[in-house]
Structure 1
Amino acid sequence: MAKEYSFDISAKIDMQSFKNAINLVDKEVANRYDFKGTTYEVDYKEKDKLLVMVASSDNKLDALKDIVITKLLKQNLSSKVLEEQKTENSSGNNRKVTFKIVDYIESKEAKKIAAEIKNLKLKVTAQIEGDSIRVKGAKLDDLQKVIATIRSMEWEAPLVFENMR
């Protein structure tokens, strides 16, 4: 019997790297001249999977967002792990923005990914299994073509390719 290879497509994020990025944001902002004497806060709510940022103005809030995204990218995390929920006024004339942490593939997007894999007309199968997609095939080269094609497309979720067997 021929050996069958497989891999998973998911949107899991390395939470330790995420926490490290948030800690690095705190360190950098504490040392930045433009944040001296101003109010800022970066709060990661692990239970709710939320990241809340508070700054004294919209400009400071934008700078804080840029720092967070830069630190995420340096930790090899996609900026797509953060989905902005709402921006609002906070106490003391501060501005507050809330981000939801995205660590799953929505079912609509999973169906689109599976359809794209099917449209490649390679001898592979794609099965949606909860919050991941299992891709199986007899040839390793076909699976690598699938990975390259899916990576080259634009998706809403931060896709991760794992468990290549």
Structure 2
Amino acid sequence: MAKDCSFDIVSDVDMQEVDNAVNQTAKEISQRFDFRGSKSSIALEAEEIKIIGDDDYKLQSVIDILQTKIVKRGISLKALDYGKVDPASHGTVRQIIKIKKGIDKETAKLVVAAIKESKLKVQPQIMDDQVRVSGKNKDDLQNTIAKLKQMDFKVDLQFVNFRS
């Protein structure tokens, strides 16, 4: 009798790597010539990054540096949810970037629909902020992973807990 194989689809972010990227960005801001005398800063607070810049140009420069550091650390830019740019004190501007963890219900439904549309013999199941896919054949599960990797969702997907 064949037993079921399964894997989980998650969207997770290593917060230590985000912290490292933020710290590297702050260090680069403090050392760069074009930021001398600037009030620009960056800080990680809980699960959001707070960026302050002298103006929109400096704010965008800080965001560009942050994005470079985050990509080098192996984190997808899809994990960042940019808030609107707000005016702050002393003529500066501020932007909050939230870090998306987990798969929201709407995206989970899209993932399940994509799996069912593939006509593979697997059963997707939404479990809180992840999707579990199970099936009798390992090849079907691997084909499911391959199909999902080709598709573009609003979040970065990881495939974990592959059990056979």
**TM-score bracket, shorter-length normalisation:** over 0.9
Aligned match of 2:66: 68
Aligned match of 2:125: 127
- CA RMSD of the aligned region, Å? 1.1
Structure 2 CA distance, aligned partners of 1:36 and 1:140?
A: 57
Structure 2 CA distance, aligned partners of 1:76 and 1:63?
A: 20
Matched, 1:95 2:93: yes
TM, length-normalised to structure 1: 0.94
Aligned match of 2:39: 39
Aligned length: 163
Structure 2 CA distance, aligned partners of 1:4 and 1:27?
A: 50
Aligned match of 1:56: 54
Identical-residue share of aligned pairs (%): 37
CA deviation string 1:37-60 (max 9, x = no partner): 2111111111xx221100111111
Gaps in structure 1 of 5+ consecutive residues: none
The alpha carbon displacement at 1:88 in A equals: 0.7
Aligned match of 2:105: 107
**2:29–2:41 contact (8 Å) kept in structure 1:** no
TM, length-normalised to structure 2: 0.94
The AA in structure 2 aligned to 1:51 is I
Structure 1 CA distance, aligned partners of 2:68 and 2:138?
A: 34
CA deviation string 1:43-96 (max 9, x = no partner): 1111xx221100111111111111111111111111111111221111111110
Q: Runs ≥4 in structure 1, deviation > 3 angstroms?
A: none
Structure 2 CA distance, aligned partners of 1:161 and 1:69?
A: 24
Structure 2 CA distance, aligned partners of 1:164 and 1:24?
A: 34
Aligned match of 1:140: 138
Structure 2 CA distance, aligned partners of 1:140 and 1:26?
A: 45
The alpha carbon displacement at 1:3 in A equals: 3.1
**Which deviates the most, 33-42 or 115-124?**
33-42
The AA in structure 1 aligned to 2:59 is L
Gaps in structure 2 of 5+ consecutive residues: none
CA deviation string 1:103-152 (max 9, x = no partner): 02110110110010011111111000000000112222211111111111
Structure 2 CA distance, aligned partners of 1:22 and 1:72?
A: 8
CA deviation string 1:11-50 (max 9, x = no partner): 111111111111111122222221122111111111xx22
